[in-house]
């Protein structure tokens, strides 16, 4: 009987030792996963904050550019109106109007082209931090699938 009790005691201790070892390993693994998750989400939040800062900075620049274009257009229109008033003949007035319309259209096309290029640059710049995080996510998914 003593031998049976000793075997049961030994088996029980071995079983509990094995359970303790597995529980410790599971705890270490889940702690590591939790830590990685926190770091992952922290990096995502930092990318979002960076993207927002870039968007705000660029929105300010775009607003200033639009205001500058508006100011120049107003000054050009004012000068053109003064020129229209000084026209001596209908032919001269028509020429001044045609010149003003052409220069206004050219200025508008140039400004629209500049704005399109700027918006493209801004869009790429603003989404770069988020794009980088998406690349990290895709890479993590690939490695975890293996």
Domain ranges of the chain: 2-145
Whole-model pTM: value is 0.64
What pLDDT does 94 receive?
93
Give the position of tokens 């931090």.
Answer: 129
| Contact call for residues 87 and 93 (beta carbons, < 8 A) | yes
Residue 45 Cα distances to 50, 89, 98, 106, 144, angstroms: 9, 67, 54, 44, 22
Residue 90 tokens, joined = 């209908």
Question: Which parts of the chain sit beneath pLDDT 50?
Answer: none
What pLDDT does 93 receive?
92
Helix (H) or strand (E) holding 132: helix 90-145
């Amino acid at each position: 009987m003593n031998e049976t009790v000793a075997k049961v005691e030994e088996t029980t201790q071995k079983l509990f030792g094995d359970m303790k070892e597995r529980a410790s390993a599971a705890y270490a693994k889940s702690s590591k996963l939790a830590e990685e998750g926190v770091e992952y989400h922290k990096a995502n939040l930092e990318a979002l904050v960076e993207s927002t800062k870039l968007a705000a900075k660029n929105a300010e620049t775009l607003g200033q550019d639009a205001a500058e274009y508006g100011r120049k257009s107003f000054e050009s229109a004012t000068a053109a109106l003064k020129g229209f008033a000084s026209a001596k003949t209908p032919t001269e007035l028509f020429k001044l109007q045609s010149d003003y319309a052409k220069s206004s259209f050219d200025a508008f096309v140039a400004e629209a082209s500049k704005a399109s290029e700027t918006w493209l640059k801004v869009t790429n710049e603003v989404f770069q931090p988020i794009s980088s995080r998406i690349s990290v996510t895709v890479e993590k998914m690939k490695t975890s699938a293996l």
